[in-house]
Each structure stands twice: as C-alpha cells, then as structure tokens.
Amino acid sequence: MHWFYLGIAVVFEITVAISAGKAQGFTRPAWTTATLVSGGIATYLLSLALLTFDVGVGYAIWTSVAGVGIVVLGALFFGQRLDWRKLLGIAAVIAGVVGLQLSGAA
C-alpha cells in the first residue's frame, strides 16, 4: 500500500512542478491555487507513504521519480529533447529505486 500512496503522491508532485512554473512567482491566482492544492494532496499522500518508508528513502524516491516524470512529460508533450544526459539521469534514478527495493530498504 505504501508504494501506491507514494505513486499517487508522485503524480501530484508533478502537478505541483507544472503549476508552480505557470504561476510565475505566484502572481497568477489560478495556477497558484493549483500549486497549493496539489502540493497539499501530494504532502498528505507522502505522509501516508512515510508511515512505512524511512523518511530519507521515501522522500528521495518521491522527489526523484517526480523529477523523471517531469522530464518525460516535457519530452512527450512539450517538445523537449530527451538527450543521453537525461536518459542517464533517468537510468540512475530507476536503478536506485530498484536497488532500494531489492535490497529490502524500501
């Protein structure tokens, strides 16, 4: 169940990143509201995941997988290029998550 909570928390953290970018220093009310609401939901779900995960482990997975999601969405929908550097970073994050899981730390 903790992986499920963390997964949904990741989705809302990606929403935070996108809406915070569009809020332009929190000068646009609609995007600012979207940022705060999705941030609140992400935070609550993260806290549920952290009931099981160690704080350092759960937090690192959450923020990193969200980072991967942002880059992948950028490539899919916003025409940003997925070059070898980004793929290397994505591979490292995935390797780290899998490693934590397989070693029993997550």
Partner 1 sequence: MTSETATARSDRARAWFVLLLAGAFEVGYALSVGGSQGFTVLSWSLVAVVFFLLTLFALSLALRTIDVGIGYAVWAGIGAVGAALLGPIFFGENLTPVKAFWLTVIIVGVVWLKLSDSPKRTRTERPAQP
Give residues in contact with partner 1 (CB under 8 A). 20, 23, 25-26, 35, 39-40, 43-44, 46-48, 50-51, 54-61, 63-64, 67-68, 70-71, 74, 80-81, 83, 85-86, 88-93, 95-97, 99-100, 103, 105
SS (H, E, C) the chain: CHHHHHHHHHHHHHHHHHHHHHCCCCCCHHHHHHHHHHHHHHHHHHHHHCCCCCHHHHHHHHHHHHHHHHHHHHHHHCCCCCCHHHHHHHHHHHHHHHHHHHCCCC
How many other CB atoms are there within 10 angstroms of residue 9's CB atom?
Answer: 25
Q: Kindly state the smallest distance separating residue 77's Cβ from partner 1, in Å.
A: 15
Q: Kindly state the smallest distance separating residue 17's Cβ from partner 1, in Å.
A: 8
Q: Kindly state the smallest distance separating residue 68's Cβ from partner 1, in Å.
A: 7
CB-nearer residue toward partner 1: 15 or 35: 35
CB-nearer residue toward partner 1: 11 or 57: 57
